[in-house]
Amino acid sequence: MIDTRLVLPERESAPRTRGLTMVIDSGMFTGQFEDAIDSVGEYIDMVKFGWGTALVTHDIKRKIDILRWAGIDFYLGGTLFERFAVDDQVDDWRALCRTMGATHVEVSNGTIEMDNAEKSRWVRELASEFVVISEVGFKESARSAALMPADWVSFVHEDLAAGARLVTMEARESGRSGICDADGRPRDEVIEAVLASGVNPDRLLFEAPNKELQTYFVQRLSAAVNLGNVHAEDVIACETLRLGLRSDTLGSDRLSIDTRSEA
């Protein structure tokens, strides 16, 4: 970033422990991917190869090499874990992650019939080998809407207790499920219940694939909020939201507030 005399919110340098930006790769051409990492990699902390795209990307190893060169962590989408789990092939999925050199994995139950206790058991088992990022919330809007705030609180704490480094708050790549309603509006009652439960916000990763959700979470939790499912072409715009360099957050008194809990 260019040096100026502006007083901007403090941002950790990579490798960051808070204020993380996770980019979702939904199948970018490898040339575009390389350009993106070269251009904005300093603002990217993790890349998720969305759902099962890693299995059908013929040059996925080239993408992984690009990330290794840039010092950026990656993991495979949680839906791929679920696809293996539903066929009782988690050991094969684990071998795949090892072969790809993944140090991070995502464990979710957003699509299949797997209760949170079973998901947490997988988190606990995998945490001995990988950095585990779990996910709470369902892909299907009606099913997710039926998940009450108390359920979200319980599941988040259960996953953290099992050893998850981060818990992803589901919103899909559309921003219309999980912590959002079908119209894309944040479910304030869910978000406030989780934050009021004593969980450290640094342990939460909020999926925010559009400017409206990114703005909402930056205003609610400061520049240091962890944001996921950001598109590569939106990384710079997202960073300006964090720094109050866009009208949506300019002048916000929340950007520099440290909202971390002691929990």
Tens of pLDDT, residues 165-203: 999 999 988 888 999 998 999 999 999 999 999 999 999
User: How would residue 252 be classed by pLDDT, with cut points 50, 70 and 90?
Assistant: confident
Q: Which residues are within 8 A (CB) of 68 and not within 5 positions of it... i.e. 6 or more apart?
A: 101
**pLDDT attached to residue 147:** 93
In a domain, 165, yes or no: yes
Cα gap 244→101, rounded to integer Å: 37
Cα gap 159→116, rounded to integer Å: 8
In a domain, 249, yes or no: no
- CATH code of the domain containing 92: 3.20.20.70
Cα gap 178→162, rounded to integer Å: 21
CB atoms within 10 A of CB 126: 22
pTM: 0.92
**pLDDT attached to residue 128:** 95
Q: Is the pLDDT of residue 262 over 70?
A: no
In a domain, 76, yes or no: yes
- Domain range enclosing 44: 21-242
> Which pairs with CB-CB distance under 8 Å and at least 24 residues apart come from 58-67?
59/30, 60/100, 61/100, 62/30, 63/25, 63/30, 63/33, 64/100, 64/101, 66/33, 66/34, 66/37, 67/37
In a domain, 5, yes or no: no
Total number of domains constituting the chain: 1
CB atoms within 10 A of CB 196: 11
In a domain, 146, yes or no: yes
Cα gap 22→235, rounded to integer Å: 9
In a domain, 261, yes or no: no
Cα gap 217→65, rounded to integer Å: 32
